[in-house]
Amino acid sequence: MELIKCLIIGSGPAGFTAAIYASRANLSPVLYEGPQSGGQLITTTVVENFPGYPEGVSGYDMMEDMRTQAARFGAVIRSGIVTSVDFSSAPYTVTVDGSMQVQAETVIISTGASAKYLGLPDETKYAGRGVSACATCDGFFFRKKTVAVVGGGDTACEEAAYLSTLAAKVYLIVRKNYLRASDIMQKRVLENPKIEVLFSHNAEGLTGENKVQGVKLVKDLGLPTEKHYELGIDGFFLAIGHKPNSDVFKPWIETDENGYIKTCPGTPFTNVPGVFAAGDVADPTYRQAICAAASGCKAAMEAERYLNK
């Protein structure tokens, strides 16, 4: 079985930064890209807050640059999804695509997080035809149209505010009778004339011929005032949080109640020696590309130290 010194799982900013550092440290890293090569940024239109790009950069170009930079120093980048791991003893056994196995002396988990969906069958039915979990990626298609955003946190408010710069009208569908977002984001949304907040509302389904044309809503679910009705919309955006992609590691790696991998604060150390976590899979708070990149750097440096011991 192939023995890898430093195995990196995931191809977002954390994974590629780890690959750059690990290859420059002669750890001959092998990186498995996972289901979405380039991670969440690949579907982001413009990244404007990553230092070094005064004019902004497309998420796609940025990830391509990171990949090229990692490959330049010898990182081996492979497509493949890690389907199970055995961290009972080092070297650790990792199964890729259900059948192929490799062994690794160190593992850097940088599998990121994925947007959550409500679980309505219509979300799948209309995927790519009006349903999106990324306003910055898809907002462009809804210029001068009517859209709905689901969620009451900072992400939902940010997405609604962003969409209001493009769309004619934005409904914010909030299941409680208050917003959970920070005061400043709440203010921005509540004072925006293009945004209408629908408190105590849940989405039940979507309607439309071949694309989204309406959302079925229920107001005051379970109360005597419960009311069902439909609103005409062209786009339906989910902003109800993210789920860390940690399930495959859970038999061995400690996570918090939401599935985020627990690391020793400020470090990439997990509860398994030689297994490190970097990026959004271990970051419930910041979830920024720059933070992910920084933690990928730390993970590679700790992998090097571990191997030198």
Half-sphere exposure of 214 (CA within 13 A, CB side): 9
Output 98 or 121, the one with its CB closest to ligand NDP: 121
Q: Which of residues 120-179 bind ligand NDP (CB under 6 A)?
A: 150-156, 158, 175-176
Output 23 or 111, the one with its CB closest to ligand NDP: 111
Output 74 or 241, the one with its CB closest to ligand NDP: 241
3-state DSSP assignment of residue 155: helix
The binding track of 228-257 with respect to ligand NDP, each residue x by CB under 6 A or -, is ------------xx----------------
Output 25 or 41, the one with its CB closest to ligand NDP: 41
* Shortest reach from residue 224's CB to ligand NDP, in Å: 21
Output 119 or 128, the one with its CB closest to ligand NDP: 119
* Shortest reach from residue 203's CB to ligand NDP, in Å: 8
Contact between 219 and ligand NDP by CB under 6 A: the answer reads no
Interacting residue with ligand NDP among 76, 118, 301, 307 (CB under 6 A): 118
Nearest by Cα to 172 from 145, 152, 155, 186: 152
Name the residues annotated as catalytic.
Answer: 134, 137-138
Q: Which residue in the shown chain puts its C-beta closest to ligand NDP?
A: 153
* Shortest reach from residue 94's CB to ligand NDP, in Å: 30
Note whether 300 and 285 are within 8 A (CB). Answer: no
* Residues shown for the chain: 309
Q: What is the largest CA-CA distance in the chain?
A: 67
Note whether 242 and 113 are within 8 A (CB). Answer: yes
* Beta strand residue intervals within the chain, DSSP E: 3-9, 30-32, 46-47, 57-58, 76-78, 82-86, 92-96, 100-109, 113-115, 131-132, 146-150, 169-173, 195-198, 201-207, 214-219, 227-232, 235-238, 242-244, 275-277
- Angle (CA) 280-292-110 rounded to 5° is 55
* Shortest reach from residue 75's CB to ligand NDP, in Å: 30
* Contact set with ligand NDP (CB under 6 A): 118, 150-156, 158, 175-176, 180, 240-241, 285, 287
